[in-house]
Structure 1
Amino acid sequence: MQLKFKKSYKFALKSSVYVTLFFLATIFLYHYFVQSLNLLVVLAFSVVFYAATFFLIQFRVEHFIYKRVKKIYDDVSLLETTSYVNQPVTTDMATLTKEVKKFARDKKLEIETLKIREEYRKEFLGNVSHELKTPLFTIQGYLLTLLDGAMEDKNIRKKYLERAEKGVERLIYIVKDLDMITKLEVGEINLDVTKFDIVEVVQNVFDLFEMKAANKNITLTFDNKYAKPIWVMADQEKIQQVVTNLVVNSIKYGKKGGTTEVGIEDLTKNKVIVRITDNGEGIEKQNISRLFERFYRVDKSGARSEGGSGLGLAIVKHIIEGHDEKIYVESQIGVGSEFSFTLEKAK
């Protein structure tokens, strides 16, 4: 039966053979060229033999380790081409151990990140499905009712068609917001940075949603009288959308008879901060960190009854970060919420 040796045994066997052959060759040379057994000669011979043996074993060990470490590098390169494919091979065990541990940590982190993304993807697809199917089923229900005979009644026909139209508008609203946030995330929307008056932008938003606020008896107001313009540098259209989304949210979640107040203050020499404050129901602390996620809703049922795509705050965050600015949230249950963001002052 053929004996199967481990690779380490084969290495030891071959190294022993090489050392033995070298020893025999040395003895042979000593026998023929050294006439007397002088102590200095013996010492010199011992030093030479020791040095030669050391270098022989060292060469063998490095060669043995290199071949196997090279195999590890080659295998790792298949998984991480950018980091290891052109990296020199080390035969130092401490260095190799550090590199392998670092590789294992990086891969573990990458796997955990992929798991989080997968969970987020599943949640996102579920939310998209839920947001789209609600208006779709509504439209389908009204149209089927009309096709089943209700079309003959002019009053019912008009009412149901109007409701179906609202469902279509909701679908268009969701699709537009999805398209915008997708473009924002991949950086396809270029910012048209200009100088404009942020006070005027806020006032325009107030004028647009004055009736919506009046329906809940909510007052839209500034915290002070701004007699002079406050000039900033940003994309005016995008910032107006940010203010719009935040004001609409404050109306949606505000209490009847409440207020939505906007304040504009100097933050630093080159920055202003815009604060949008309401005295509504407030947001629980555990929900604040997820407010800017796509389709995340604090109040699942109430928010949907108010309409909206569920993408407003996600769009706000991307627009503000696209300007290299910051957005902040402070909220207390029963007291209200404040959303604020920074902008660059115009020179």
Structure 2
Amino acid sequence: MASPYAQELQLASLAVQRAALITRKLLSAVDKGALDKSDASPVTIADFAAQASIIAAIHHVFPNDEIVGEEDATALRENPVLLERTWELANETHLDNEASEALLHTPQTREELLDLIDLGAKGNCTPTSRTWTLDPVDGTATFIRGEQYAVCLSLVENGHQKIGVLGCPNLRASGFVAETLVDRDGHGQLLAAVAGHGATIQPMGPGALLSSRPLEKIPQITDTSAVHFIDTQAATTQNLEVHGRVAASLGAPWPNPVDLWSAQMRYVAIAVQGGCNAFIKVPLSKEYRSKIWDHAGGMLIAQELGCVISDLEGRPVDCSQGRTLAGCYGMVVAPASVHQRVLEAVRVARGL
């Protein structure tokens, strides 16, 4: 994928692949009984170790870039046992290809690991910044159950997404996307996009990056009954009643069989045409705003494949407002050909 961001894309892809290995190693420990699945610590260790690993790689090459990460290191500073487990996981997980691993930095001390995690906690997206946003494990509840989750990294410049890389350790190469339909034989899939250059998918592995292929554009439908919404029926922040009214007014199936907890995995399911092509998010609270790391990167992939993404007023999503999508209330994601009709259905269903 020839682009002005070739170095950034390679680094981001390798960093996400290594972080994905960290999360899989942690899940293996749970499966083997080394860690208690009912305890929150496996998720915590995976979040911290993956965030430290990714930030180490990015900050070493681009020390002047801002980084926005979900976690801070307070819990590790207060819990020596948790710190030691996180240190071992982050420090001992490497790509098995020497040339690829040589491009990635690894924390050299526990204090460096803590500082790198906190670097992400302090970062911001502004209208003039070059900022990497990351979510080390998007879909923590499903991660611990061995279902779908994503390791997410994006580059935002001056409020605009430039690169999106999503590592999906349990995603199969093709077919219907569901929580329990996981890749049992490989290391999952990595999706990537560069603004203006389309999107790709490639299998992940333990070493060098494997060959990628372009993702196909999303069909531009005209019949709204062909809108297949992805949703999260277990969500506690979304107005599912309004979602259902929107689907009914469009003649779209509801609820659609594709139901994923991870926000980033919803973009993935659309991108791989895994049984859905749209989603909406009507918050229950007027004050609710999404975190930027739950959407940046995934949004770019969907946009590059033919989706339009807006807030509930039809405005483009602004990625320059800090650590949340502060100017974006709710979301409408749909193929460009029907986005306006879905948006209007949402307005009617909300009683506007």
Greater relative contact order: 1 or 2 (C-alpha under 8 angstroms, separation 6 or more)?
Answer: 2
Relative to the length of structure 1, the TM-score reads 0.31
Query: Which structure has greater helix proportion?
Result: 1
Relative to the length of structure 2, the TM-score reads 0.31
